[in-house]
Amino acid sequence: MVRKTENFLDKTITLKDLIVYFMYFILGIVLLAGIIFIPFKIGESYGISSCSNIAPINAASKVLAATATSKTDNLSNNTSTMNITEPTVNTSTEEEEEEEANLTTNQTEEEPEVTTPVKTSYGRYDSEVTTTYTKVDVLLADFEYELKTDIWGKITKIKLTIKNGESKIILPYSVEVSVWNQGEPSPEWKGEIIQINNLVPYLTGNNQRSLYINPEGLSFNEITGDKMIELIVKDEIGKVIASDEFRVSID
């Protein structure tokens, strides 16, 4: 005789069985909720908080951090007091030093200035003109005067000669003339200035030139006795080319 084994899946589930299973499910959920929340509520009633265990850890962390900071500060202070001087390594070679020396020498040496000759208003090149006057003389060749009264007179004409002993051209521009009584100091004021560049535009080297000038206000007092006449020849910028004093007699 064979006994038939009943399978659970083949069992017919009735409405009563569904209700029973549902009641078991609800009971399990309630028990699980009680296991989780009941201890939490009990802890709150006694003033126990889950964060109380964190405080000692934070305090310990602060102590460790303070200790580490103190050690770091001590290490920094010790390091700051130590003066470490690294040895200087000279990496330049002799060839580099020689090149630098040559460069410095080349910078200090100035190249000669090259100028293009420019003609002056007198048709002469600037390179032919000198402004160094060490061998130029002026001479009083002759003079004329006029007596105005028995106490004063004036010089009316002067003949002067300019001698250029330089090897280059000079450009006389004006002559300053002064007169005073012999034995007295020369006057502090300037004499009469007469422009002469229209009479002697230029004077070549190792040459001389005579010219006449006509002063207009060159007066003197004491119609008798010797007088002093001073001649000062200047160039266009006012530099003295030649000067001299001459003693003359008034008859």
**Predicted local distance difference test score (pLDDT) of residue 222:** 87
The structure's pTM equals: 0.52
- 16 vs 3, more confident: 16
Cα–Cα distance measured from residue 167 to residue 59, given in angstroms and rounded to the nearest whole number: 105
122's tokens? 């007198």
**Predicted local distance difference test score (pLDDT) of residue 103:** 61
- 12 vs 223, more confident: 223
**Predicted local distance difference test score (pLDDT) of residue 51:** 40
Tell me the mean pLDDT in the region 167-177: 96
| Per-residue pLDDT band at 19 (split at 50, 70, 90) | confident
- C-alpha distances (whole Å) from 129 to each of 122, 196, 203 are 11, 18, 10
Tell me the mean pLDDT in the region 54-72: 45
Residue 213: how many other CB atoms lie within 10 Å:
20
